Structure 1
Amino acid sequence: MPVYTYRCESCGLQFDHTQKFSDPPLTECPECGEPVRKVYQPVGIVFKGSGFYATDHRSPSGNGKSRSESKSTEKSASDSSSSSESKD
Structure 2
Amino acid sequence: MPVYVYEVILEDGSGGQVFEIEQSMKDPALETHPQTGEPVRRVYQPPNLGTRYTPGSTKSKLETKNVEKAGFTKYEKDKLTGKYHKTAGQDKRAPDVLQP
Task: Please give the range of the TM-score, normalised by the shorter of the 2 chains.
Answer: 0.3 to 0.5
TM-score (norm 1): 0.47
Greater length-normalized contact order (CA 8 Å, ≥ 6 residues apart): 1
TM-score (norm 2): 0.42
Pick the structure with more strand per residue: 2
Pick the structure with more helix per residue: 1
